[in-house]
Chains A and B, each alone.
Chain A
Amino acid sequence: MENSLDPAASLLEVRGISKSFGAVRALQEVDFTLRAGEIHALLGENGAGKSTLIKVVTGVFPRDAGIVRLGGEEVAPRSAKAALQAGIATVYQEVNLLPNLSVAQNLFLDRQPMRFGIVREGEMRRRAKTLLADFGLDIDVSAPLGNYSVAIQHVTAIARAVDLSARVLILDEPTASLDRHEVEILFRIMRQLAKRGIGIVFVSHFLDQVYEISDRITVLRNGRLVDERETASLSRLELIRMMLGRELAETTSARASAGAQTTREVCASFEGYGKAGYVAPFNLELRHGEVVGLAGLLGSGRTETARLVFGAERADRGQARVEGAPVRLQSPRDGVRHGFGYCPEERKTDGIVAELTVRENIVLALQAKRGLHRPLSRREQDEIASRYVKMLDIRPPDPERPVGLLSGGNQQKVLLARWLATSPRLLVLDEPTRGIDVGAHAEIIRLIRELCDDGLALLVISSELDEIVTYSDRVVVLRDRAHVEELAGEAIDVGSILAAIAADGASVAHEGRA
């Protein structure tokens, strides 16, 4: 332990970290170990707890329990700045530097070389030049940082962090906005730094890159540690299983026997539907009384598909039909007019209007659909609200409570109620069970089935594969922003979905992005 250059020594040890936000347990007794000189990938789906872990370790959030040791000594930074001084630097996807200042000023912000109270510009530029040369960059350091590409901004941020004597470097989705060539530059620098004994935490949802660069992998799911493995001995299938699966009792579709799907009436269909740079053209038929599940990893194009189907995003090719008649879906209003409903993944920012009451949130879509001149009377509103509060068991059962004060599960029910009140023909649900406690979770799944039995068409996105398997009549699997497989009836099980997600040839992730 004394010799910090020993490659097997743990540089950063995180033990038993827990963190709750209100009733939501974001992290539960998570352990994480980073060795000196290694590149360690931290993986997990949305809401797994990656960002929370990083923020707790770097002191952005106070932790509820657990300890962090850096080089054997316990540290408890209270702010990102304190963490930086202790030797833990973080570079976020959105670079936290000042684009209007020069590259050199950014590198030496807060610690400019001074003489007689005056910044020594020349000295600063010289030192910036040398510093960046280490990273293989030869650029004009007196130009504003904003003039350079995101990749160079990233490298600048990393150079600054490393120069501040960082021993641990945390890179949060550093490659998300880089093209292939820039990713290579970044990876070269990461390897160089690792050789110097710096421990690097790499957060990414691009599995190809994870396999290319990382030595070890830690997977989180629902705020818990799943496992820590050597990258070389972990198959892609196993990794995806760790990220997505739960107990993985090979559940098969409970609905498989529900009858021949082809006899059901088509509710909405999409032919060659897609948008350049958003989601590749797809064919999709949604039928009355049928649940279609969308499965895939984070960033695979699930939410994008949902938004296109609903009309929240405009397609630039293909034809949509509702009950056989061609329609144009240019805006959410169009979707609502055609009897579609959409419960987005981000409930707080895209779903509820926190300040308004449960009643107002429930009647919102119906009122928007009816138009301004046909207001729902207070009596009608009360009636609708109390009907759905009862039907969905929304708690507390007070329609006049601001919806922001409800728990996540109840907010989700309010959103469901909002759409059910419009008597929709198609409901699109994006991660309807995310961040919801176990009880409400089961209820929502039961609701999905009931709605379906009532003849509604449903398109449901979920990261929980066994959940998808339970309620889906068909499952569409997405990879790299394209629909790659459609499973139906008996063929739906967790194993086959995983196989479709993990199928190789996933290396096109970066082509065409820039």
Chain B
Amino acid sequence: MTGLLPRRGLAQILALIVILAVDRVVSPQFFDLRLQDGRLFGSLVDVLNRGTPVALLSLGMVLVIATRGIDLSVGAVMAISGAIAASLADTHSLAVVLAAALGAGLICGLWNGFLVAVLGMQPIVATLILMVAGRGVAQLITEGRIVTFSSPDLVWLGNGSILGLPVPVAIALGMLILTGAVVRGSALGLLIEATGGNARASELAGVGTRAMILAVYVWCGVCAALAGVIAAADIMGADANNAGLWLELDAILAVVIGGTSLFGGRFSLVLAVLGALIIQTMNTGILLSGYPPEFNLLVKAVVVLAVLLLQSPKLSGFAGVVTRLRGTKA
């Protein structure tokens, strides 16, 4: 039951607090919030808002990684769904736009899942295909241009607010709750963890491991598509070249910071999202500090290393457990 309630999230929460404290030092107004036109403004809200795409990606990615897979194509899927949404926005209703964009994500997920679960390709290779091809598809949809739109419905999705929260943040929160409810409310969570922990044994216990794997890639595709729509809505346009570029790496990083092993097995949705927020808090802090953005990447690397060390078993008293595990494995 390590799903919704972070039992082992101490390292992540600690890291977030430290980074927030540093942000407060470099930017004294960091914790200031003000209400304007029924919407909250401030750096904290900004962190949540900017962090939304990666948080959404990490929701799908964490499930994929839990099955011992990886999905490199999420950035490209964002570009595809963004391109579709932008192209349809001014001529169709929001429902149609969303259905088309999310449907595209679903198909992308099915494709990845088919390659991995049915054809048995290595996940990193299988999803690399769509990572490369997907951006091409997105460029075909936008015909190489930056497509802009002015549909107020779609713009609202990126810039509106519900109960004072930016819409993207509300959507991400909703998706976290939905994913959590589906995964932990059904047996999916257990079966995914079993599949990732030992696929052969799970198969022999009657678990439909292929179906599990297919399902997580589909969900990952849908989450990526939603992130793509929000990113497009945010800038009121779709740029097939740059939408979601390199975000797959941030999503993987978020999952890893959230304590899910790349070798599959145990996962935590909440901690993965927390991982995404840690990344964004850092990004925002560096921007606010006025340091040249070049430092961004370096600082990020150092912080990530620190978080990973903090949760490494050797440093947190789990050494004995691990040694015993190794002993029985030999």
Measured CB to CB, the residues of A under 8 A from B are 21-22, 310, 312, 332-333, 335-337, 342, 344, 348-356, 360, 363-365, 367-376, 378, 402, 404-405, 407, 418
Contacts and interface: CB of A to CB of B under 8 A. Distances in A.
Given A350-B200, A354-B325, A418 B205 contact: yes
Interface in B272-330: 321, 324-325, 327-330
Interface stretch (B142-150, B159-167, B171-179, B180-188): B180-188
Interface string B190-208: 1101100110111111111
A372 B187 contact: yes
Given A21-B330, A375-B186, A368 B200 contact: no
Residue from B202, B205, B330 having most chain A Cβ neighbours under 10 A: B205
Contacts of B265: 353, 355-356
Given A352-B198, A353-B197, A364 B325 contact: no
B1 interface: yes
A350 B203 CA distance: 9
A336 B205 contact: yes
Nearest to A312: B204
B191 A367 contact: yes
Contact of B327 (A21, A312, A333, A370): A21
Interface of B: 1, 185-188, 190-191, 193-194, 197-198, 200-208, 265-266, 321, 324-325, 327-330
Contacts of B329: 348, 354, 404
B68 to A, nearest CB: 11
Contacts of B200: 349-350
Given A349-B201, A368-B208, A22 B327 contact: yes
Residue from B187, B201, B206, B330 having most chain A Cβ neighbours under 10 A: B206
Contacts, number: 97
Residue from A337, A353, A360, A371 having most chain B Cβ neighbours under 10 A: A353
A354 B203 contact: no
Contacts of B325: 354, 402, 404-405
Contacts of B201: 349-353
Interface of B is mostly: helix
A487 to B, nearest CB: 29
Contacts of B205: 332, 336, 364-365, 368, 418
Contact of A375 (B185, B194, B327, B328): B185
A370 B205 CA distance: 12
A365 B1 contact: no
Q: Give the 7 A-B residue pairs with the shortest CB-CB distance, closest first.
A: A336-B206, A368-B206, A353-B197, A375-B187, A365-B205, A353-B198, A22-B327
B194 A333 contact: no
Residue from A312, A344, A375, A405 having most chain B Cβ neighbours under 10 A: A375
Nearest to A367: B187
Contact of A353 (B1, B202, B208): B202
A351 B201 CA distance: 5
B40 to A, nearest CB: 37
Contacts of A350: 200-201, 204
Given A364-B191, A365-B206, A404-B329, 9 more contacts: A22-B327, A310-B204, A332-B204, A333-B208, A342-B204, A356-B266, A365-B205, A375-B190, A405-B328
A130 to B, nearest CB: 42
Contacts of A342: 204
A356 B205 CA distance: 14
25 contacts: A312-B204, A332-B203, A332-B204, A333-B208, A344-B204, A348-B329, A353-B197, A354-B197, A354-B198, A355-B197, A356-B194, A360-B190, A360-B193, A364-B191, A364-B194, A364-B207, A367-B191, A368-B207, A370-B187, A371-B187, A372-B188, A375-B186, A378-B1, A405-B321, A405-B328
B324 A364 contact: no
Contact of B190 (A332, A367, A369, A371): A367
Interface of A is mostly: helix
A376 B186 CA distance: 8
A378 to B, nearest CB: 6
Residue from B207, B266, B328 having most chain A Cβ neighbours under 10 A: B328
B65 to A, nearest CB: 14
A367 B200 CA distance: 17
A371 B205 CA distance: 12
A336 B209 CA distance: 14
Nearest to B187: A375
A125 to B, nearest CB: 36
B266 A355 contact: yes
Residue from A350, A373, A418 having most chain B Cβ neighbours under 10 A: A350
Nearest to B188: A372
Contacts of B206: 332-333, 335-337, 365, 368-369
A380 to B, nearest CB: 11
B48 to A, nearest CB: 31
A434 B1 CA distance: 32
A372 B211 CA distance: 11
A310 B206 CA distance: 11
A237 B190 CA distance: 50
Contacts of A336: 205-206
A376 B190 CA distance: 10
A368 B191 CA distance: 8
A356 B207 contact: no
B328 A404 contact: yes
Contacts of B207: 364, 368
Nearest to A356: B197
Nearest to A333: B206
Contacts of B202: 353, 364, 368
Nearest to A369: B206
A373 B198 contact: no
Nearest to B200: A350
Contacts of A356: 193-194, 197, 265-266
A458 B130 CA distance: 49
Contacts of B198: 349, 352-354
Contacts of A21: 327, 330
A119 to B, nearest CB: 33
A338 B191 CA distance: 20
Residue from A351, A352, A365, A368 having most chain B Cβ neighbours under 10 A: A368
A370 B206 CA distance: 10
Given A22-B330, A312-B204, A353 B194 contact: yes
A235 B117 CA distance: 51
A418 B207 CA distance: 13
A360 B190 CA distance: 7
A38 to B, nearest CB: 32
A337 B208 CA distance: 12
B263 to A, nearest CB: 9
Contacts of B193: 353, 355-356, 360
A354 B329 CA distance: 10
Contacts of B208: 333, 368
Contacts of B191: 364, 367-368, 372
A276 to B, nearest CB: 23
Contacts of B324: 405
A364 B203 CA distance: 10
A183 to B, nearest CB: 31
A115 B205 CA distance: 60
